Amino acid sequence: MTLRRKETLAAWLFLLPGFVGFAIFVFGAVVFSSVLSFFEWDMLTKPTFVGLRNFTKLFLEDKTFHLVFRNTLWFVLGTVPTRVLLGLIFALILVRNIPGRTFFRAAIFLPVIIPTVAAAMVWRWIFNADFGLLNDFLYQIGVSNLPRWLSDPKWALVAIVILSVWKDVGFSTVMFMAGLQSIPTTVYEAARLDGANAWKTFVHITMPLLSPTTFFVIVINVISSFQVFDQAYVLTGGGPGNATNTIVYYIYNNAFQWFRMGYAAAIAWVLFGIIFIATFVQFRYQRKWVYYE
């Protein structure tokens, strides 16, 4: 065997575990779930073929799914614009040479690397209606009607949005900082020579040149927000009264609490369709506002 053949064989042997893992746990799981969505199966008895029954029930009969879809959509609308806007504001501040810049950069990004379950456990104490830090702060500034964050259906989803924004805004900030630092300084120098003020420079130079980064941040945040699970699972358990029940949480309940595996697979594929459509629409219309050099 020649040296070239030995090197090729060694390369394939090193790649083989990754290919096997992908084939079994990713591709195989996708194929299995797509087939399973047309069956009823409780993991104990023999699967029963039901055709499109799971999907028709999901859209036409299951009011709980309609509720969790609305909850998830409100969560997306609450978190994505907030993360993007705050990330941009923080990036515009931290990209400058301000005192303590390194500390503030680390402080904003630190929640990103904290496990979501650990962060949610801490925020359970912060949101505690009787002795939590948040209600104590609101009381100190004169708010009398203090929210019961995790037990009031009006505030429970808001609490999860607050936690999620705090947890993930650091990612958007870092992405925007990288985008801002990639803009050539010569462009700003030319704008100053032409007499452009700070606002015009931001609107006509910074934002257009930052649009690819903005597009990337929005797409990633939309995809991750539609898959929210950990925060609702730890903070509220989907309650009170399904007020924080989300699509992924509903998939979990159907699959591992009620053992309706076929129905859970159907919901998972519907979620995939929702995310695919949302992403496709964003890519379809990016040409109208995203400018590439």
**Domain membership flag for residue 33:** no
**Domain membership flag for residue 222:** yes
Q: Mean per-residue pLDDT for 12-25?
A: 91
Helices (H), the chain: 3-22, 28-36, 53-60, 63-94, 101-113, 116-126, 133-140, 153-181, 185-193, 198-201, 207-226, 230-235, 247-252, 261-285
Query: Structure tokens of 224?
Result: 């991750």
Q: Residue 120 in contact with residue 230, Cβ under 8 Å?
A: yes
User: What local confidence, expressed as pLDDT, does residue 256 receive?
Assistant: 93
User: What local confidence, expressed as pLDDT, does residue 280 receive?
Assistant: 95
Q: What is the pLDDT of residues 29-78, one digit of tens each?
A: 999 999 999 999 998 899 999 999 999 999 999 999 999 999 999 999 99
What DSSP state is assigned to residue 288? G
**Domain membership flag for residue 8:** no
Burial 158-173 (b: 16+ CB within 10 A, else e): bbbbbbbbbbbbbbbb
Query: Structure tokens of 135?
Result: 């209600």
Split at pLDDT 50, 70, 90, the class of 1 is low
User: What local confidence, expressed as pLDDT, does residue 287 receive?
Assistant: 86
Q: Mean per-residue pLDDT for 90-106?
A: 91
Among 110, 101, 111, 99, residue whose Cα is nearest residue 164 = 111
Query: Structure tokens of 284?
Result: 């379809």
User: What local confidence, expressed as pLDDT, does residue 97 receive?
Assistant: 85
**Domain membership flag for residue 82:** yes
* Count of CB atoms situated within 10 Å of the CB of 69: 19
Provide the 3-class DSSP secondary structure of residue 119: helix
Q: What is the pLDDT of residues 99-130, one digit of tens each?
A: 888 999 999 999 999 999 999 999 999 999 88
Q: Mean per-residue pLDDT for 79-100?
A: 94
- Gap between the Cα atoms of 8 and 5, Å rounded: 5
Q: Are strands 48-49 and 39-40 parallel, antiparallel or unpaired?
A: antiparallel
Q: How far is CA 277 from CA 70, 80, 104, in A?
A: 16, 17, 37
pLDDT at 7 over 90: no
- Gap between the Cα atoms of 83 and 111, Å rounded: 13
Among 194, 162, 179, residue whose Cα is nearest residue 75 = 162
Split at pLDDT 50, 70, 90, the class of 89 is very high
Count the domains in the chain: 1
Domain extent for 151: 55-288
The CATH number of the domain where 133 resides is what? 1.10.3720.10
The single residue listed with the structure tokens 């810049």 is 101
pLDDT at 264 over 70: yes
Q: What is the pLDDT of residues 119-162, one digit of tens each?
A: 999 999 999 988 889 999 999 998 888 899 999 999 999 999 99
Split at pLDDT 50, 70, 90, the class of 293 is low
Question: Whole-prediction pTM value?
Answer: 0.91
**Domain membership flag for residue 28:** no
Q: Residue 157 in contact with residue 75, Cβ under 8 Å?
A: yes
Q: Residue 176 in contact with residue 117, Cβ under 8 Å?
A: no
Among 12, 10, 65, residue whose Cα is nearest residue 269 = 65
Non-local (6+) Cβ contacts of 264 within 8 A are: 251, 252, 254, 255
Q: How far is CA 100 from CA 50, 85, 134, 172, 221, in A?
A: 62, 22, 26, 20, 28
**Domain membership flag for residue 134:** yes
**Domain membership flag for residue 276:** yes
**Domain membership flag for residue 166:** yes
User: What local confidence, expressed as pLDDT, does residue 123 receive?
Assistant: 93
Q: Mean per-residue pLDDT for 237-248?
A: 92
